[in-house]
Amino acid sequence: MPFITVGKENSGNIDLYYEDHGSGSPVVLIHGWPLSGASWERQVPVLVKAGHRVITYDRRGFGQSSKPLSNYHYNTFADDLNQLLTKLDLRGAALAGFSMGGGEVARYLGSHGNERVNKAVFISAIPPFLLKTAENPEGVDKSVFDGIEAAILADRPAFLTKFFSDFYNVDVLRGSRISDQAVHMSWNVAVSASPQGTFDCVSAWLTDFRADLAKITIPTLVIHGDADRILPFAATAKRTHELVKGSRLVTVEGGPHGITWTHADKVNPELVNFLK
């Protein structure tokens, strides 16, 4: 199993687990919270078949990567991504970020530029700025995030059960687009993540990416479900599309947050066509 060392914590290395499949123009897939690179199960074989080299990796604290007790913020996440792209010496790569992973795409391009990257994809993504403030009235009230943090501290496994019910809109889509077993698979991945990292990432969600998005000049695709209960369409995708000049917005009708699984039949053709 390949790993890349991106730092140290006391006597141990901080290693990121990654997978590297196929050949052709590279695509780097960046997972959401609190999942891992395995969450791209329905995209990887499709993209490889379409002629791409597909790289997935686990964010620090999640999946099979190291689980340090600090530095869960987007500057560090973007630097980790930069180390991966540099180690693999990727050129002309596409970055696709799902949910929290969209923040890595934005902050990487905002801080490291597009020397190695020629396309960007935001799927159910967190930018541009999730926190409601006086000058950002479209955001979400801080009390919502305070409640999430309290629920994680009180009973993280129970919180994750409720979270994934809304992640996949199970009450609406169970049996048609999502099975109980698929939901439980996500729960299994999430509950094995770092408790500290799971908690600390909540505050990272409040990062302001508007300046990063304004710097993006490469072709950009934004895909989002209009029934997303985790990251509402109007507060995220709609505004990201408006901030990234020339971007293309694809709205998945009835799509929940987890459209990479529930609506892979809609997401995958859009990805393949955009990455041609």
Q: Which residue of the set 66, 99, 194, 247 is catalytic?
A: 99
Query: What's the half-sphere exposure (Cβ side, CA atoms, 13 Å) at 110?
Result: 21
257 is catalytic: yes
| Cα separation, 128 vs 223, whole angstroms | 14
Are 217 and 191 in contact, with CB atoms under 8 Å apart? Answer: no
* CA 187 from centre of chain: 16
With CA atoms as reference, report the closest residue to 58 among 3, 105, 125, 119: 3
Could you tell me the two tokens for 57?
Answer: 């990796």
Q: Which residue of the set 80, 228, 241, 247 is catalytic?
A: 228
Are 125 and 33 in contact, with CB atoms under 8 Å apart? Answer: no
Sequence-ordered list of residues with C-beta below 8 angstroms from that of 110, at least 6 positions apart, any chain: 78, 209, 211, 212, 213, 215, 216
Fill in the DSSP letter of residue 147.
Answer: H
Are 41 and 67 in contact, with CB atoms under 8 Å apart? Answer: no
Q: Which residue of the set 31, 52, 224, 257 is catalytic?
A: 257
Cα separation values, 228 from 8, 97, 169, 251, Å: 37, 16, 8, 11
H or E element in which residue 220 lies: strand 220-225
Beta bridge partners of 131: 140
Sequence-ordered list of residues with C-beta below 8 angstroms from that of 116, at least 6 positions apart, any chain: 85, 86, 90, 91, 92, 93
228 is catalytic: yes
176 is catalytic: no
> Which residues are identified as catalytic?
99, 228, 257
